[in-house]
Amino acid sequence: MEQTKEQIQSIALEKSPTGIKGLDEITFGGLPKGRPTLVCGNAGCGKTLFAMEFLVRGALQYNEPGVFLAFEETIEELATNVASLGFDLNELIAQKKLFIDHVHIERSYRRI
């Protein structure tokens, strides 16, 4: 027996809205609040842009500060990439709505 949207929401976890049009609808309110969310996929599939949009919209629409730890792109590269979505990361960082850090990992490090 298929459950209605209201039944699913009544037993679902508390959610954090993403502010991303359509995503909050299909996830019945957003991502699970206070729980980790794993977004996986190959290089170039949009994981970083998804995460940045979630954090930026959280800061702008819900006054929720965010933290982003990057391993591949520098802060400058991230700012350039999300500027195409109309977001000014440097301004959000200056307003202390976002904290972004880049951890440099040498490509020469071998996997064990």
Higher-scoring residue by pLDDT: 3, 22: 22
pLDDT, tens digit, 9 for 90 and up, residues 1-15: 676 766 665 666 888
Q: Check pLDDT > 80 for residue 26.
A: yes
Tokens for 35?
């729980």
pTM for the full predicted model: 0.77
Which of 14-23, 25-34, 70-79, 102-111 has the weakest average pLDDT? 102-111
DSSP 86-109: T--HHHHHHTTSEEEEE----TTP
Q: Check pLDDT > 70 for residue 36.
A: yes
Q: So what's the pLDDT on residue 106? A: 77
pLDDT, tens digit, 9 for 90 and up, residues 37-85: 888 999 889 899 999 999 999 999 999 999 999 888 899 999 999 998 8
C-alpha 46/C-alpha 41 separation (Å) is 8
DSSP the chain: -PPPHHHHHHHSPPEE----TTHHHHTTSSEETTS-------TTSSHHHHHHHHHHHHHHHH---EEEEESSS-HHHHHHHHHTTT--HHHHHHTTSEEEEE----TTPPP-
